[in-house]
């Protein structure tokens, strides 16, 4: 006899309650509810962990992370939590019945099992396990899980398609972020610092150029202190010469120890060009505005730097010079000759970036002392412009 929905209704069959004796229904419901809560907490924690690792691998837009304890694995991501809340509410309002949600959930579970099997097999390959054992493992689990997948595919039209849509949306975001990074890497260029030190010194001493700021601070991603991004040099020397008395370059490294809070200072040119490297634990909020101020106070106390204003009228009164942070923000230049697909990817990337955590907020900078400088991202310049001069 085939058990259909009509038969269940006519005979009053309930697959959940009829599994238990009557006296065990209340304890069974309590146990099932507790198990559902534990499973949901595991899913939420897993989502936070996966997004955190995706950001570390530069596969997801930057969002703010909170660490409620000293353990690195215990984290909270408000933006993802809000998205999951909206997703849950949206699914419930869309389906309005549990049978369709069961179809979506079942398909999600079996797809997750298949992905886990593939990833573990890849891990075994990386660990140089014997190929025979890898094939046995793959064959065993693939047969079982494929059988479940085939059985659940009939529920695809009953709600399982939601699983595919959500999965494809997350994959699309990750792919756009990854692909855009590959495209931008064509433009990113690091140059040797020593090649530009004389030019920066000449600019700093050139009184014919208006003083942009007494102290000019740039954030740099260059791990090597002897290198600097070409875009920073372009900002100082080429775009609009920015004369300053002291140029500061600040770099931040995130450490595995939760409470590491250290810094290192390198005087590239004493009292003229200074680099600061911060080493911050993953639980330390990068409040660069306060940390930078503390470093400057230490340098002044040790008489390593003079931060007083260089204007004669202010220097006589011992007034501290102004500090200005420069945050460089890319935009896709119209001078690019990108293929249609890459142009779409870059536009979607910049749209995602607008809705993610900004650089100044992520580094805890005071907006009063920050200048957002936009510079063109040219990864595929136009090479064949047909322009003809005519004379009348």
pLDDT in tens, 12-67: 666 666 677 878 888 888 998 898 888 888 888 888 888 888 887 788 888 888 87
Count of CB atoms situated within 10 Å of the CB of 247: 25
The predicted model gives 251-276 an average pLDDT of: 87
Residues 318 and 334 in one domain: yes
Could you tell me the pTM of the whole model?
A: 0.73
Give how many domains the chain has, as a whole number: 2
Residues 369 and 225 in one domain: yes
Residues 22 and 125 in one domain: yes
Residues 218 and 92 in one domain: no
Quote the crossing angle between the two packed helices 25-56 and 78-95, to the nearest 10°. 130
Residues 199 and 179 in one domain: no
Residues 80 and 220 in one domain: no
Task: Provide Rg for the chain, Cα atoms.
Answer: 29
The answer to whether the CB of 254 falls within 8 A of the CB of 280 is yes
The answer to whether the CB of 286 falls within 8 A of the CB of 365 is no
Q: How many residues does the chain have?
A: 392
- Percent of the chain predicted with pLDDT > 90: 10
The answer to whether the CB of 216 falls within 8 A of the CB of 203 is no
Average pLDDT, the chain: 83
Residues 353 and 209 in one domain: yes
> Which residue among 166, 183, 200 closes a domain?
183
Q: End-to-end alpha-carbon separation of the chain, Å? A: 94
For residue 12, is it within any domain? yes
For residue 386, is it within any domain? no
Residue 131 — pLDDT band, cuts 50, 70, 90?
confident
pLDDT in tens, 299-326: 988 988 888 877 777 767 778 888 889 8
> Which residue among 128, 161, 183 closes a domain?
183
CA separation for the pair 362, 329 (Å, rounded): 14
- Supply the pLDDT for residue 173: 93
Residue 276 — pLDDT band, cuts 50, 70, 90?
very high
Residue 174 has pLDDT above 80, yes or no: yes
Residues 34 and 52 in one domain: yes
The answer to whether the CB of 325 falls within 8 A of the CB of 370 is yes
Could you tell me whether strands 323-332 and 370-377 are parallel, antiparallel, or unpaired per DSSP bridges?
parallel
Residue 8 has pLDDT above 60, yes or no: no
**Which long-range CB contacts under 8 A does 75-82 form with residues at least 24 apart?**
75/48, 75/49, 76/48, 77/48, 77/51, 77/52, 80/47, 80/48, 80/51, 81/44, 81/48
pLDDT in tens, 144-165: 988 888 888 877 777 778 878 8
CA separation for the pair 130, 134 (Å, rounded): 7
pLDDT in tens, 80-94: 899 889 988 888 888
Q: Which domain holds residue 38?
A: 5-183
The predicted model gives 91-99 an average pLDDT of: 80
Residues 179 and 196 in one domain: no
CA separation for the pair 15, 30 (Å, rounded): 17
The predicted model gives 251-259 an average pLDDT of: 81
For residue 390, is it within any domain? no
The predicted model gives 274-294 an average pLDDT of: 85
Residues 230 and 333 in one domain: yes
Residues 270 and 162 in one domain: no
Count of CB atoms situated within 10 Å of the CB of 272: 17
Token code pair at residue 69? 């304890």
For residue 387, is it within any domain? no
pLDDT in tens, 211-234: 888 889 998 888 888 888 888 888
Q: Give every CB contact of residue 310 below 8 A, 6+ residues apart in sequence.
A: 211, 214, 245, 321
> Which residue among 157, 183, 209 closes a domain?
183
Q: What is the Cβ-side half-sphere exposure of residue 103, based on CA atoms within 13 angstroms?
A: 17
- What are the start-end ranges of the H helices in 96-248? 98-126, 131-153, 161-184, 197-205, 230-233
Residues 249 and 317 in one domain: yes
The answer to whether the CB of 199 falls within 8 A of the CB of 241 is no
- Nearest to residue 283, comparing CAs of 319, 318, 310, 257? 257
For residue 53, is it within any domain? yes
Residue 235 — pLDDT band, cuts 50, 70, 90?
confident
For residue 11, is it within any domain? yes
Residue 367 has pLDDT above 70, yes or no: yes
């Amino acid at each position: 006899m085939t058990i259909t929905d009509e038969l269940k209704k006519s005979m009053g069959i309930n697959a959940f309650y009829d599994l238990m004796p009557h006296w065990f229904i209340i304890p069974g419901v309590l146990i099932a509810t507790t198990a559902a809560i534990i499973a949901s907490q595991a899913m939420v924690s897993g989502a936070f962990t996966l997004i955190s690792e995706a950001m570390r691998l530069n596969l997801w837009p930057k969002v703010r992370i909170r660490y409620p304890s000293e353990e690195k694995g215990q984290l909270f991501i408000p933006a993802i939590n809000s998205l999951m809340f909206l997703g849950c509410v949206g699914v419930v309002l869309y389906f309005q019945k549990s049978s369709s949600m069961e179809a979506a959930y079942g398909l999600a579970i079996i797809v997750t099992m298949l992905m886990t099997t593939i990833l573990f097999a890849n891990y075994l390959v990386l660990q140089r396990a014997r190929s025979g054992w890898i094939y046995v493992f793959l064959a065993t689990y693939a047969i079982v899980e494929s059988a479940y997948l085939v059985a659940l595919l009939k529920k695809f039209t009953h709600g399982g398609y939601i699983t595919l849509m959500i999965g494809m949306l997350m994959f699309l975001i990750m792919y756009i972020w990854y692909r855009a990074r590959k495209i931008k890497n064509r433009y990113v260029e690091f140059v040797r610092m020593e090649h530009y030190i004389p030019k920066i010194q000449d600019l700093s001493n050139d009184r014919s150029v208006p003083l942009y700021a007494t102290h000019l601070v740039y954030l740099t991603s260059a791990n090597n202190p002897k290198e600097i991004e070409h875009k920073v040099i372009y900002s100082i020397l080429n775009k609009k010469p920015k004369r300053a008395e002291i140029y500061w370059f600040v770099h931040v490294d995130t450490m595995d120890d939760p409470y590491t809070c250290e810094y290192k200072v390198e005087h590239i040119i004493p009292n003229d060009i200074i680099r600061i490297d911060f080493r911050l634990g993953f639980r330390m909020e990068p409040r660069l505005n306060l940390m930078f101020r503390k470093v400057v106070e230490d340098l002044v106390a040790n008489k390593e730097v003079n931060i007083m204003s260089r204007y004669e009228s202010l220097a006589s009164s011992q007034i501290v010079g102004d500090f200005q942070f420069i945050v460089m923000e890319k935009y896709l230049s119209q001078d690019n000759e990108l293929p249609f697909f890459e142009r779409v990817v870059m536009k979607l990337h910049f749209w995602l970036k607008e809705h993610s955590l900004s650089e100044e907020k992520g580094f805890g900078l005071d907006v009063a002392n920050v200048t957002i400088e936009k510079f063109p991202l040219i990864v595929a310049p136009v090479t064949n412009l047909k322009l003809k001069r005519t004379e009348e």
